[in-house]
Amino acid sequence: MTENQLPLENLRVIELGTLIAGPFSGRLLADFGAEVIKIEPPGKADQMRNWGQSKDGVGLWWPIQSRNKKSITLNLRKEEGQAILRELVKEADIIIENFRPGTMEKWNLSYESLSEINPGIIMVRTSGFGQTGPYKNRAGFGSVGEAMGGLRYVTGFPDRPPTRIGISIGDTLAALFATIGCLVAVHERKQSGKGQVVDTALYESVFSIMESIIPDYQLAGYVRERMGNILPGIAPSNIYFTKDKTYIVIGANADNVFRRLCEAMGQPELADDSRFSSHNSRGENMKLLDLMIEEWTKSLPAKEALKILEEKGVPSGLIYSAKEILEDPHYQEREMIVTVPHPELGDFSMPGIVPKLSRTPGKVKHPGAEAIGKHNEEVYTKILGFSIEKMDELKTAEII
């Protein structure tokens, strides 16, 4: 491997999924160099191409979700299309799919049958409830996973119904766990030479991050409820209004950090006040403490308050919209806003690569293919050796 190579360049991935969870896994692998071949049915593009805002008729989410990928068409509902996929599987390392369980089997593309022709194949399967269990056949979107995984119950304010986070967090969490599982399976394959199934459920991915809610309930009889912007028993950690009518976030719940906050506020004596001198006492007196902190923040413009907090080493920040993100020099310095040329929209900015690797970092080479099936000729002729005549026949038969 040379210094110019990306770390996953030796992996070929077939992405069969649609919308968010499966394709986000494909994006993460492609960011680090995997050859990700995105398959869509001929004449029926992934709905993600039209999701979100648009500019001049071009969806603005798709170029991010499908960056660095190749786009081909293939009809998996027909036997000839299934046969072609099997040929691709022979040349691949990973299959990503996020259909309802049983769909791949219905298409005669079960893991068992595919592993017979490629024992090293890894199948990454993301679904609402997993490949087993009484709920396996239920349809499941990220919203349902967030609800049944416990996240929606604790999100929002106590006097209002449960709410959602402003992004598709359930799908994204599932994609992250699926990608971790995929890379674990790739690593294990080096020892065994065998592939395996990575089974990721949306609800389980959400539940996995729900901290201690189960022992809280079973052992302490405590059910975590919606608490708005605070953390139960942890203070101070909240948003605070400022003189220029905006909000800042302050997190100073550790003893030493709280002492620094008191110094920043010009009230060092509060750190030794019995109501606030320990973690438990601050939690018990959270409302009073938040009022005292906000009395200080309301006396200052946000930037001035943040400057004082920064000087004292207190974690704090503005609540950013896209505008503040684009203007922030730290985002720019760490290349978290990457601009690549889009054939229709010109310069196109999107989130950079996470995480940062010191020696073999990932790279955004291009936005998602604007045309469905753009790489048909490249993939089918170079990988499978199809002739142009055969390509024309497959297109006429609506296989590709």
* Active-site annotation, residues: 171
d(CA 390, CA 102): 31
Looking at the DSSP bridge assignments, the partners of residue 198 are 124
Q: Are strands 54-55 and 58-59 parallel, antiparallel or unpaired?
A: antiparallel
Q: How many residues does the chain have?
A: 400
Alpha helices by DSSP H, listed for 102-212, are 103-106, 111-117, 142-148, 169-192, 202-208
Q: Which residue has the tokens 């990608």?
A: 179
CA 268 vs CA 38, 115, 258, 271, 285: distances in Å? 59, 66, 10, 6, 17
Rg (CA), the chain: 25
d(CA 96, CA 200): 11
Cβ pair 95, 381 in contact under 8 A: no
Q: Which residue has the tokens 């087993």?
A: 132
Tell me how crowded residue 78 is: count the other CB atoms within 10 A of its CB.
Answer: 14
Count, in order, helices (H) and strands (E) of the chain.
Answer: 17, 13
- What are the backbone dihedrals phi and psi of residue 94, each rounded to the nearest 5 degrees, phi first? -140, 140
Cβ pair 103, 58 in contact under 8 A: no
Residues 6 or more apart whose CB falls under 8 angstroms from that of 227 comprise 154, 157, 158
> Sign of torsion, CA 99 101 107 112?
positive
Cβ pair 334, 280 in contact under 8 A: no
